[in-house]
Chain A
Amino acid sequence: MPTLLTLLLALLLPTLARAETIMVSNEKDNTVTVLDGGTLQVLRTVRVGERPRGIVLSRDRRLLFVCAGDSDRIDVLDTESWRVVRHLPSGSDPERAALHPDGRRLFVANEDDNMVTVVDVERGVVLQEIPVGVEPEGMGLSPDGRFVVNTSETTNMAHVIEADSGRILANVLVGARPRYALWEPDGRRFWVSAEIGGTLTLIGADDWKVLGQVSFAIPGVPPEAVQPVGMVFSRDATKLFVALGPANRVAVVDVATRRVERLLLVGQRVWNLALSADGGRLYTTNGVSNDMSVVDIAAMRVTRSVPVGQAPWGVVVKP
């Protein structure tokens, strides 16, 4: 019997070890929920600073940077010991952050201070503060690390910032209340979602001009409820998944044709998205229903809903 058990464990362990870890920030109860990607069980709930929203992994994935807005700092969470090992300065009210490919510079949007703060995550110091529009939020780094795009929610602009100098190269007007900026993997174009405008804007990196717009019409859902926020590409970057907020749906946009191909019904007020490490699943944070939906991408079906903390906001996957 013991040998059989050992055998079973030996068979199981590699799969368990391979399973990814999902991390969800919970805006209202000041925690990060850690889930096992294989079983979708909650492994632990970690206390962090107040109002955690944006979360981003370090390059070696050992650390999770948590924007603790009401604590005015970034908490650094060790993803093995699950302890907050350090606080980083962030400027006032950090909401969302993006890590430069160099692994050192974290670009932080300071929502109540009209600033983007650049933090050196190794030395723990602020390198630069870049004045932007009112209520900066979205932070999108180009794949080569040359440009960072910040969206400002009340100014309704995407600010293209040269990452090394902090110089603003262009200010592109987009739809009302822009929330998220996402570069295509080849670095030639980026997408911006506008929560109140209800649109996506596609912008080219050659001349920072608007190339096109995508809007969403959902039968039975009032247009005001269609509020695009988080976005993520499918692994092959042919599809763009867009969280539509209180429309309670994730839209699947074909990148080549810019057509909305499908609408997947998920939990309430879906804000942010992450792809599983193998690209087979999509995880969504649903801020009103306090859960995470799991989408099987091959089948284009929502397969599970997993309760997490209160007002789940950000989600990342550690392979």
Chain B
Amino acid sequence: MAGSPALSRRALVAAAALLPSAARAQASPLVIGYLSLRPPRPLAATLLEPPPADEGAQGARLGLRDNATTGRFTGQAFALEERRAEQPQAALEALRGLLAAGLRLVVADLPAELLLPAAAEPGALLLNIGAPDDALRNADCRRNILHVLPSRAMLADALAQYLAVKRWRSLFLAVGPAPGDQLLAEAMRRAARKFGLRVVLDKTWTHEPGAQRTDTGHMSIAAEAARFTQGAPGYDILLVCDEAGGWGESLAWRTTDPRPVAGTQGLTPTIWSPVHEQWGATQLQRRFRAQAGRAMTPLDHAAWLALRAIGEGATRSQSTDPARVINYLRSPEFELAGFKGARLSFRDWDGQLRQPILLAGPRALVAVSPQPGFQHRVSELDTLGTDRPETACRPS
């Protein structure tokens, strides 16, 4: 691991300390790897929520604690080995280190271009919490990757269903230049076709942000937003594709026509939001806040879900053998409670976790998709994202 000074190493062992008499003591804990690539971040777009340095890892730690509580009664113990790298090569080296130490299950907060080489490492069983790319669920799918976080198509479908219900059918798409923004825009276009919406204007936002902290910076942004939205054909809602959050907030309240904003800003389709408190979510939000001292982000939630999925697989399969646990996760018997009012399970055609998607405003939950009325012959959750008949996943 030489040459990766920023690699942080941390091991949390939650031992089965309080074994009740009924539980069987079991020798070795199931050790789960947690690997993240966290390049140094650019200046955040807002001072409100500085991006937490331990984002994701805190979710995994809470999941480990929840698993350990269950393990007290089943005689199973779990441990977490955290690795964090700033450079792609260091991340791969860290993964090799984990695998060499005998680990198999690794929760991966990695971008798509790093997830694929990671999956090629012999023995790795990855739970993807960082890459929403639809290609990973289709042509680039791998048998040894389970996707815990929703794909961009799932997010876009969740939003499009809501817009269809509201009959806000004409869309103005504002797309950033980043590759992720372009992919999200593609997912939005597809979702619009799928749910009978129309993209009436499709524009790329090129203005560099950064003026916001200068004096009168708001004026130049306002002028830019007005120029961007002037002369648009009639539309119902502006859809913003800005995954990094660099400029998307600049558009709300500044459009030439008074129109709402949705997408990566405004009304946002997401796996999790601090505003969510239904279905017992309050408990998870509080548990997390007590541990981390801040709100649970979507990445934290995906990490928590990944740990809980492994824990549930170990409990139900009565095994801490990684291969058996993964097999159980892929079986039709697997079901996970995720505080979103529906049981979660993995799609057998592409390894994607089927789940409801929240539509969250900045301070309130607006809706949860799938929307009532979008029916499916197997599971309404499969109205979101790539369904079995459409999948291009042919895992080798």
Residues in A lying within 8 Å of B, measured CB to CB: 111-112, 114, 131, 133-135, 153-157, 159, 167-171, 173, 175-177, 195-198, 222-224, 227, 246
Contact = CB atoms under 8 A, between A and B. Distances in A.
A184 B280 CA distance: 28
A224 B22 contact: no
A197 B342 CA distance: 9
A224 B69 contact: no
Contacts of A171: 20, 22-23, 73-74
Contacts of A224: 341-343, 379-381
A131 B18 contact: yes
Contacts of A196: 335, 337, 342-343
B316 interface: yes
A156 B312 contact: yes
A173 B315 contact: yes
B286 interface: yes
B335 A176 contact: yes
Given A167-B21, A222-B379, A155 B341 contact: no
26 contacts: A112-B283, A131-B18, A133-B70, A134-B70, A153-B280, A153-B337, A154-B69, A154-B70, A154-B308, A155-B66, A155-B70, A156-B312, A156-B315, A159-B73, A168-B20, A168-B22, A171-B23, A196-B337, A196-B343, A197-B343, A222-B375, A222-B379, A224-B341, A224-B380, A227-B341, A246-B341
Contacts of B379: 222-224
Given A171-B23, A173-B316, A134 B342 contact: no
B336 interface: yes
B270 to A, nearest CB: 19
B280 A135 contact: yes
A196 B308 CA distance: 15
A287 B116 CA distance: 46
Contact of B380 (A114, A173, A222): A222
Contacts of B342: 196, 224
B287 interface: yes
A106 B293 CA distance: 33
A196 B343 CA distance: 5
A227 B341 CA distance: 8
Contacts of B283: 111-112, 135, 153
Interface string B353-391: 000000000000000000000010001110000000000
A177 B340 CA distance: 12
Contacts of A175: 335
Contacts of B308: 154
Main secondary structure of the interface of A (DSSP, over half): loop
Interface in B278-331: 280, 283, 286-287, 290, 308, 312, 315-316
Given A154-B66, A224-B380, A197 B335 contact: yes
Interface string B68-80: 0110111000000
Contacts of B72: 131
A316 to B, nearest CB: 22
A195 B340 CA distance: 12
Q: Which of A111, A153, A154, A171 has the most CB of B within 10 A?
A: A154
A169 B22 contact: yes
Contacts of B22: 168-171
B300 to A, nearest CB: 16
Nearest to B342: A224
A167 B19 CA distance: 12
A176 B336 contact: yes
Contact of B337 (A111, A157, A177, A246): A177
A112 B335 contact: no
A133 B69 contact: yes
Nearest to B71: A155
A198 B18 CA distance: 31
Which among A133, A134, A159, A246 has the greatest number of chain B C-beta atoms within 10 A? Answer: A134
Contacts of B341: 224, 227, 246
Nearest to B338: A196
Given A169-B22, A222-B379, A134 B343 contact: no
Nearest to A95: B283
A175 to B, nearest CB: 8
Nearest to A175: B335
Given A112-B286, A156-B315, A196-B342, A133 B73 contact: yes
Nearest to B68: A134
A133 B312 CA distance: 13
Contacts of A112: 283, 286-287, 290
Nearest to B70: A155
Nearest to B22: A170
Interface pairs A-B: 3 shortest CB-CB: A224-B342, A171-B73, A196-B337
Which among A153, A155, A173, A222 has the highest number of chain B CB atoms within 10 Å?
A155
**Of residues A111, A114, A167, A196, which shows the largest number of chain B Cβ atoms within 10 Å of its Cβ?**
A196
